[in-house]
Amino acid sequence: MQKLTILVSMMCLLIIGCKTEKAMNDNPLLNEYTTPFQIAPFNEIKPSHFLPAFNAAIAEQQNNISVIVANKDAASFENTIEALEYSGPLLDKVSSVFYNLTGANTNDSLKAIAKEVAPMLSKLSDDIYLNEALFAKIKSVYEQKGELNLSGEKAMLLEKTYQAFTRGGANLPAESKDEFRNINEQLSLLTLQFGDNVLNETNDYIMVVDKKEDLDGLTKGQIDAAAKAAKDHDQEGKWVFTTHRPSITPFLQYSTNRALREKLFKAYINRGDNNNEYDNKENIKKIASLRVQRAKLLGYENHASFILEKNMAKTPETVNDKLSFLMEKSLKVAKQEVADMQNIIDSEGGNFTLEPWDWWYYSEKVKKAKYDLDESEIRPYFELSNVVDGILYTATNLYGLKFEERTDLPTPHPDAISFEVKEADDTHVGILFMDFHPRESKRGGAWMSSYRKQEVKDGKHIAPIITMVCNFTSPTEDTPALLSFDETSTLFHEFGHALHGLLSKCEYNSLSGTAVPRDFVELPSQIMEHWAAQPELLKVYGKHYKTDEVISDELIAKIQKSSKFNQGFITTEYLAAAIMDMDYHTLTEALTMNPNDFEKESVAKMGLIPEIVTRYRSTYFNHVFSGGYSAGYYAYIWSAILDSDAFQAFRENGIFDQETAKKFRENILERGGTEDPMILYKKFRGAEPDEKALLNDRGLI
């Protein structure tokens, strides 16, 4: 799920409803939106609008903070905590549009603005969190919390506000505050540069194939997509493959040309590590070192201790113990998977040992041999629009939701589609955008975000505006977008995040929707993946794109039987990245060694086998060096324990059981970060999660 940077997510509460006296008629960001549902008028917004809007928004919040501080009345929850919560509506409005666009539809102008805005927002953040008079008022209210008789959500807002200030340096001695500010400003720019480098290097690389025989093994759809890519890159008459996932993954799965598989794979894993203008090694050293420095200033042993304090896991030791336990289980399975593939290589007369660029190709052969299942056999049943129908059908049958596609609403990009989401009684729930295919202006991966978060303001319910952004296989001239089952699962995953944002019923924006600990936020998304392979649902959305034939029981049985296939690899490559993230962020001193050497030591220590490369090598590990997952990439497996256990409730009662869905909606999806996540989970499930469900789901025991 895409998050904004930690700095921006601290600053941007994404609250709607700004009316500023400084509104300028020629800047739509500074006027109240007059569009349906007050969606941003994307076609009217130009890059030149953002800097003036950010300047006005920062000035507005500074003024509102001054009013809080100058108030002569005794500090109270209303005049301090709530006033701070509502202090930056224009900044929330402007930043939500800006940062969503820089992720999904960036350009050189927006990149330049981002670099200019980053230190401005860093300074504003520090000006707030290091404001001694403001913190004194917050501390005064916090010290009275036992006597204020606050509701659960108000008490949580007070707790998290106080925590944000202490973690934001409010208790630092005066001589350390300038150093703290400097660290934050440097990190805001370095993390931004890291992400730009990954995007630029990914976009710059193409592998041109000019001999038809070098396409052997690829399907017609894959060849057509490569021809289209060649045309887009002025290589008409040839075929182009890139390091974008929809291009590289099928090539590695099906190409018989081992040399080209190696070439494309190495281009992918060496992004950010080519000693050119996009090299990220020095950025990593600086980011890791500054994070250590900041953690120590705040009194923590390392950055991981600072981050995990507010997560479910609480400590690095808890995380490392869990990751080590799971790595031991998954490595055993992965080693058997290597043996199975090597047997096929040997039986075919291959005089070589399995290498990382061979894994996808030979694992497909194993899948075919063991389960008689070929990815190209099932893709025709997962036409994108049918899969979308499937996720909407799931939400309708679980929660009674209605989805009305709207063609009259502004969208963030011409490729995006929009839905109005309603309850069964036609009550408006929110707006959902979906943006499916790769383009050079879009960063890789898939994520959900908000253009407006749900809240209740002045007694009025503010409905959310949610976006899902993906990078799925594109259609060609004669073939619609056909998804792999992995892409299908990803669509269900991001839709789970979207439901978390859409179905939120919280009072405060900063606690609503996905504003939960990192190791809890993936529960609503990952549990949705379980529905993707359920036979009852596959019969609804699994339809052949040419004949409209419903997927057969035989093919469904193959998909079900193969559900545990390759889980040793999938789990191990993920765990390797999660462990490496923890290794970087449990450093207690500045990182002085080359990140490549650091990575080698980390990989050797965890016992990773040479046939597997960690899912993200350091130099393109956006999650932890550019996104919000530093010391938090483990969250996916932590949440996987939760989602496997949670889905057991649906297995036991029926995958569309209304009572179970109601409990999940009311205790998880609607509650945001208003209560401790384990308490919320136990309200739904009745007990803490059992990790055996995950191990069983993945075939690791």
The CATH number of the domain holding residue 649 is 1.10.1370.10
Residues annotated catalytic, as ranges: 494
Is 556 inside any structural domain?
no
Q: What is the pLDDT of residue 173?
A: 94
Structure tokens given for 520:
């809890």
Is 558 inside any structural domain?
no
Structure tokens given for 51:
């800097």
Q: What is the pLDDT of residue 20?
A: 36
Is 557 inside any structural domain?
no
* Nearest Cα residue to 455 out of 672, 664, 668, 665: 672
Which SS3 state, helix, strand or coil, does residue 598 take?
A: helix
Residues 682, 611 within the same domain:
yes
Q: What is the pLDDT of residue 376?
A: 87
Residues 404, 301 within the same domain:
no
State which of 514, 545, 576 marks the end of a domain. 545
Is 608 inside any structural domain?
yes
DSSP strand pairing (465-469 vs 428-435): parallel
Residues 365, 263 within the same domain:
no
Residues 496, 603 within the same domain:
no
Residues 321, 185 within the same domain:
yes
Model pLDDT for residues 522-556, shown as the tens digit of each residue: 999 999 999 999 999 999 999 999 999 999 999 99
Is 173 inside any structural domain?
no
Cβ–Cβ < 8 Å for 413, 435: yes
Residues 390, 511 within the same domain:
yes
**What whole-number distance in Å separates Cα of residue 299 and Cα of residue 309?**
12
Domain total of the chain = 4
Residues 28, 86 within the same domain:
yes
* Nearest Cα residue to 484 out of 472, 469, 470: 472
Residues 502, 384 within the same domain:
yes
State which of 222, 245, 269 marks the end of a domain. 269
Which SS3 state, helix, strand or coil, does residue 241 take?
A: strand
Is 552 inside any structural domain?
no
The H-assigned helical ranges of 445-517 are: 485-502
- Token pair 């209605």 in the structure block, residue: 402
Per-block mean pLDDT, blocks of 10 residues, the chain (701 long): 34 32 71 97 97 98 98 97 98 98 96 97 97 98 95 96 97 95 97 97 97 96 94 96 95 97 98 98 98 98 97 97 96 97 96 97 94 91 98 98 98 97 98 96 95 96 98 91 95 98 98 97 97 97 97 94 94 98 98 98 98 98 96 96 96 97 98 97 96 91 81
Is 174 inside any structural domain?
no
Residues 394, 541 within the same domain:
yes
Model pLDDT for residues 487-528, shown as the tens digit of each residue: 999 999 999 999 999 999 999 999 999 999 999 999 999 999
Residues 326, 340 within the same domain:
yes
Residues 510, 388 within the same domain:
yes
Indicate the helix (H) or strand (E) that contains 462: strand 460-462
* Nearest Cα residue to 361 out of 265, 429, 490, 272: 265
Is 559 inside any structural domain?
no
Q: What is the pLDDT of residue 100?
A: 98
CA distances from 390 to 238, 500, 536, 547, 651 (A): 36, 18, 11, 18, 19
Domain carrying residue 246: 205-269
Residues 641, 629 within the same domain:
yes
Assign residue 64 the CATH number of its domain.
Answer: 1.10.1370.40
* Nearest Cα residue to 91 out of 131, 130, 133, 120: 120
Question: Given phi > 0 = left and psi -120 to 50 = alpha, else beta, which region is 300?
Answer: beta
